[in-house]
Amino acid sequence: MDPLELFKQLSDTTRLRCLALMTTEGELCVCELTHALDLSQPKISRHLAQLRESGVVQSRRAGHWVHYRIHDELPEWAALVIQGMQAATERQEPYRSDLQVLKDMPNRPGATCCA
Q: Residue 112 — pLDDT band, cuts 50, 70, 90?
A: very low
In a domain, residue 115? The reply is: no
Within-domain flag for 93: yes
Q: How many domains does the chain have?
A: 1
* Continuous H helices in the chain: 3-10, 13-25, 30-37, 41-53, 76-89, 95-103
For residue 108, being part of any structural domain is answered with no
Residue 58 lies in a domain: yes
Q: Is residue 84 one of the residues assigned to a domain? A: yes
| Confidence check: pLDDT of 48 > 50 | yes
Q: Which domain range does residue 70 map to?
A: 3-103
pLDDT for res 114: 52
Give the pLDDT confidence score for residue 109 in this predicted structure. 75
Distance CA 114, CA 90 (A): 26
* Domain presence at residue 110: no
CATH of the domain at 54: 1.10.10.10
State residue 111 phi and psi, 5-degree precision: -75, -30
Angle, helices 13-25 vs 41-53, to 10°: value is: 80
d(CA 77, CA 62): 30
Query: What does pTM read for this prediction?
Result: 0.91
**Could you tell me if residue 51 is inside a domain?**
yes
Q: pLDDT digit string (tens) for 5-44?
A: 999 999 999 999 999 999 999 999 999 999 999 999 999 9
**According to the model, what pLDDT value does residue 44 have?**
98
pLDDT at 115: 46
- Is the pLDDT higher at 115 or at 51? 51
